Amino acid sequence: MSILNILQHPDDRLHISAKPIKELDAVTHQLVKDMAETMYSASGIGLAATQVNVPKRVIVIDISEARDDLLVLINPEIQSREGTVVFEEGCLSVPGVYDRVERSEQIMVQALSAEGDEFKLEATGLLSVCIQHEIDHLDGKVFVEYLSRLKQDRIIKKLKKNQKGLDQRGSS
């Protein structure tokens, strides 16, 4: 198992549209394990393969308090949506930035499990928001792109400044 590097906004690789998994092989199984380890280590509630520089349609999520309820979504598709909800979102690729984004309140998702079994899931609340946030990553979209141009410019400035500080101290 290994902890993978998480790409930080702004990075062109976060804008790549991820390709569906054609065959669930050992490489994909290892990717799922490493993504789960990376998500838990970073204390995130979700992670998309795009964020670890693998442009494949793989997502891991765990919104449980105990951090013991891993959900794996491979080739997820939102089949239907209902209502809208505004949620304060954050992102491991945009550290320290939190802002409100409007999403669908309830979604029906179809996906493959880590074992390759097709399943459907009706999601509401945080799970629904998280799934939509992660599928956006697979489509090359970061949540800050829903914010005003002004806010986006400020966020990029702040992140670049933080990154410079880290570079000068020789850490990453």
Q: Is the dihedral of CA 156, 158, 160, 166 positive or negative?
A: negative
Interface residue list for Ni ion (CB under 5 A): 91
129 touches, from Ni ion, ligand GNR, none (C-beta below 5 to 8 Å by class): ligand GNR
How many residues in the shown chain lie near ligand GNR by CB under 6 A? Answer: 16
Q: Give the pairing type, strands 58-61 and 46-48.
A: antiparallel
Binding flag, residue 155, ligand GNR (CB under 6 A)? no
Q: Is 134 one of the catalytic residues?
A: yes
Question: What is the rounded CA–CA span in Å between residue 138 and residue 17?
Answer: 6
Least distance (Å) between residue 139 CB and Ni ion: 12
Least distance (Å) between residue 47 CB and ligand GNR: 5
Question: What is the rounded CA–CA span in Å between residue 40 and residue 48?
Answer: 13
Least distance (Å) between residue 51 CB and Ni ion: 6
Q: Give the footprint of ligand GNR on this chain (CB under 6 A).
A: 44-48, 51, 89-93, 129-130, 133-134, 137
